[in-house]
Amino acid sequence: MSLSLNGRTAMVTGGARGIGLELTRQLLARGCRVIVIGQNQTRLATLERDFPGAVVTRRADLSSPAEVDALVVDLVRDHPAIDILINNAGVQREMDLFALPPTQATAFARQEIATNLDAIVALTLGLLPVLARHERAAIVTITSGLAIAPKAAAPVYGATKAAARSFTRALRYQCSRAAPQVRVSEAIMSLVATDMTAGRGSGKITPAQAAAAVLAGLERGQAEIWVGKAKLLRLVNRLSPALAARLLR
């Protein structure tokens, strides 16, 4: 079922940089009002200055459960018009688990789990009653090809994306029964040229291309939005999961 974005209120986590910034810009171009969640106050202030009245920002550290819980309370109280939630924020650390001190590896892992999974679950569940009150609403969670086949250098990132993929699918099943007006989509991302991927990999797509693919899939009502080379991974994984795993390892 297609979804028009004009006139809607979208919330984008990590919406002041990388893919999130392009999502913000392209949502605005489609006539959306956008609530941007981020950590860098300077970037957030720039967005509010550049798009007065169309962008509202909230600073929050999504790796902090306490800050996420407080954010949910504020959003439910102050922004009942939210009818699109885009879970975009994420962090990836490349970790040699045999080289890092265990305490440091654990700290890095906990930050990734909190940002890439716990915050997604908490924000989605906290805002679900708000979304369900609208005639049409949508939830989009950005995952990765590494949810399908992990990369050795990013063990926790791949695990969190796989968990987010599973959560999104289960949420879709429940919404189809209890709140069919809430569309639940997953955007499976390929390698994108952002700060997070600097110096790693080749053949990257731009953040603008990634955002355009996500929003086109949302408008078409796709349950799964395969972005860039993730489309090829989908095919390879169907034919040979072992080959897909070897390619990404």
- Are the beta carbons of 117 and 160 closer than 8 angstroms? yes
Residue 145: count other Cβ atoms within 10 Å of its Cβ: 27
Point out which residues pair with 10 in neighbouring strands.
34, 84
The pLDDT assigned to 53 comes to 94
- Are the beta carbons of 160 and 113 closer than 8 angstroms? yes
Over residues 186-228, the pLDDT tens digits come to 999 888 887 665 556 557 799 999 999 999 999 999 999 999 8
Inter-CA distances, 117 with 44, 150, 158, Å: 23, 16, 11
The pLDDT assigned to 202 comes to 59
- Are the beta carbons of 51 and 73 closer than 8 angstroms? no
| Sheet (strand 182-189) strand order | 55-59, 33-38, 9-13, 84-87, 137-144, 182-189, 224-226
Say what the pTM is.
Answer: 0.92
Over residues 132-177, the pLDDT tens digits come to 999 999 999 999 999 988 889 999 999 999 999 999 999 999 999 9
